[in-house]
Amino acid sequence: MNREEELSQLGAGKTEYKYEYSPELLEVFENAHQENDYWVTLNADEFTSLCPITNQPDFGTLIINYIPDVKMVESKSLKLYLFSFINNGEFHEDVVNKIGKDLVALMQPKYLEIVGLFYPRGNISIHPRYFYSNSNEKYKKIHEHRFLNANINPQRVG
């Protein structure tokens, strides 16, 4: 099966948007450079979900950093998946953890982190982070270092 056959969302003609949380939208493709360690950074600058209490929209940026292993997330499927949170009522911390767990289950990356930069409501912005590393000692060290240093300079992300 080639990449075009395994990726149903990419180039599928008219795009269908889901308005409820839909992890089944996520698709992967094979990493062509599995012998290399490299970072992939995906920014979702217009992420929207709902406050579970007030039902008002929450806006923010999601930054997804990962070191792929065998599988990589296809970006259009990720866009559609993230859009599916638009009517999903969850706290910011829950959203970031849910997305992290879904991406780990999907790709089994060597390392993954997600930063949620949610815009202020009531003069408070919330920036939850999710970290994951596989069982390899090298990636556990990256996880530990980035986790322990995540808030040394909270304005700098990456």
Catalytic residue at 37?
no
Number of domains in the chain: 1
Tens-digit pLDDT profile for residues 63-115 = 999 999 999 999 999 999 999 999 999 999 999 999 999 999 999 999 999 99
Q: What is the mean pLDDT of the chain?
A: 90
**Residue 144 carries which side chain, given as an amino acid letter?**
E
Question: What is the structure's pLDDT at 11?
Answer: 63
d(Cα 20, Cα 12) in Å, to the nearest integer?
Answer: 20
Is residue 43 situated within a structural domain?
A: yes
Domain annotation covers residue 109: yes
* 89 within some domain: yes
Residue 91 lies in a domain: yes
- Lowest model confidence (mean pLDDT) among 1-15, 57-71, 114-128: 1-15
> Which CATH number characterizes residue 64's domain?
3.30.1130.10
**18 within a domain of the structure (yes/no):** no
Q: What is the pLDDT of residue 122?
A: 85
Residue from 37, 51, 69, 94 carrying the catalytic annotation: 51
141, two tokens: 């060290």
Q: Per-residue DSSP letters for 14-81? A: SPPPPSS--GGG--EEE-TTTTS---EEEEEEEEEEE-TTT--EEEEEEEEEEE-SSEEE-HHHHHHH
Instruction: Please report whether residue 94 resides in a domain.
Output: yes
Given a cut of 90, whether residue 24 has pLDDT beyond it is yes
Is residue 19 included in any domain, yes or no?
A: no
What size, in residues, is the chain?
Answer: 158
Q: How confident is the model at residue 16 (pLDDT cuts 50, 70, 90)?
A: confident
Q: Domain of residue 121: give its range.
A: 26-148
Write out 72-135 in H/E/C secondary structure.
EECHHHHHHHHHCCCCCECCHHHHHHHHHHHHHHHHCCCEEEEEEEEEEECCEEECCEEEEECC
From 37, 45, 58, 102, the catalytic residue = 58
Task: Report if residue 5 sits inside a domain.
Answer: no
What is residue 10's predicted lDDT score, i.e. its pLDDT? Answer: 64
